[in-house]
């Protein structure tokens, strides 16, 4: 019997394309208009850019559930997190060697996506004692604190994965962790841009439309992995052409 797909639903490929589009315009806005400008239309574009991260978080948890080999999945994420580090830092004018300028935004979100997957593996492992698991998760939050979206990305991935099948609980937890991130952002980076993080809520109605289907094209995962560093390379070239070798956000030199 064929699985019925809801009308007006979105498959994984479609949602990932939305995320990639939102990510691209957000990153372009950072390199074209550096710093934290308060023009309403710039804030609006950055707000729409908040659509990207929650979709990536959601599909790390989904990918973990569906993968036949989590080790290959993790290795792929780790490899591209290394490539993504250099691409991300080049795009925004952040030194390749971490912690020269800040503890924030020292590497890309792929670092947190990789460790979010590992956190899910640890939580489900029967070979790790229950009392050890929180210690491992704490260690992961420490080593991911410096990445884009910080350790909050890991904690949200973990929450989404642990509550698979309960969409309301998944999204409630996502917004609570986002509130914690927004508070830190507002206190230590910029108050307006801290509030802006709540635009991740725009992703909720899109994720609610998720059909549970991957989509017919199997190459989407490779498109994302290749597109991510390539679009950041272009962003870096635009940054240098417009502003010189100048950091355009917190963490930049």
> What's the pTM value of the predicted model, to 2 decimals?
0.95
Q: Each residue's pLDDT tens digit in the chain (253 positions)?
A: 444 556 679 999 999 999 999 999 999 999 999 999 999 999 999 999 999 999 999 999 999 999 999 999 999 999 999 999 999 999 999 999 999 999 999 999 999 999 999 999 999 999 999 999 999 999 999 999 999 999 999 999 999 999 999 999 999 999 999 999 999 999 999 999 999 999 999 999 999 999 999 999 988 889 999 999 999 999 999 999 999 999 999 988 8
* pLDDT for the residue 229: 97
* pLDDT for the residue 1: 41
- Angle formed at CA 101 by CA 245 and CA 253, multiple of 5 degrees: 10
User: CB within 8 A of 30, min separation 6: which ones?
Assistant: 46, 92, 235, 248, 249
Which residues lie across from 210 on neighbouring strands? 10
User: CB within 8 A of 139, min separation 6: which ones?
Assistant: none
d(CA 63, CA 44): 30
User: CB within 8 A of 157, min separation 6: which ones?
Assistant: 57, 60, 61, 112, 113, 116, 117, 119, 120
* pLDDT for the residue 252: 86
d(CA 110, CA 108): 5
* pLDDT for the residue 7: 65
């Amino acid at each position: 019997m064929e699985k019925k797909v809801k009308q007006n639903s979105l498959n994984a490929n479609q949602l990932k394309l939305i995320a990639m589009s939102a990510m691209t315009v957000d990153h372009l806005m950072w390199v074209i208009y550096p710093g934290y400008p308060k023009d309403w239309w710039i804030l609006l574009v950055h707000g729409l850019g908040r659509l990207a991260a929650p979709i990536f978080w959601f599909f790390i948890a989904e990918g973990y559930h569906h993968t036949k080999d989590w080790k290959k999945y993790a290795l792929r994420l780790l490899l591209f997190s290394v490539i993504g580090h250099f691409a991300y830092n080049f795009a925004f004018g952040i030194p390749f060697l971490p912690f020269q300028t800040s503890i924030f935004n020292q590497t890309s979100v792929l670092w947190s996506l990789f460790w979010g997957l590992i956190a899910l593996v640890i939580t489900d492992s029967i070979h790790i004692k229950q009392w050890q698991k929180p210690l491992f998760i704490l260690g992961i939050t420490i080593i991911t604190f410096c990445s884009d979206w910080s350790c909050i990305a890991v904690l949200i991935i973990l929450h989404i994965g642990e509550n698979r099948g309960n969409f309301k609980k998944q999204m409630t937890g996502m917004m609570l962790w986002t509130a914690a991130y927004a508070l830190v952002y507002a206190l230590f980076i910029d108050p307006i841009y801290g509030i802006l993080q709540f635009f991740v809520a725009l992703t909720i109605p899109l994720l609610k439309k998720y059909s549970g289907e991957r989509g017919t094209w199997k190459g989407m995962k490779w498109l994302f992995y290749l597109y991510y560093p390539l679009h950041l390379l272009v962003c870096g070239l635009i940054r240098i052409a417009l502003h010189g070798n100048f950091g355009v956000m917190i963490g930049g030199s």
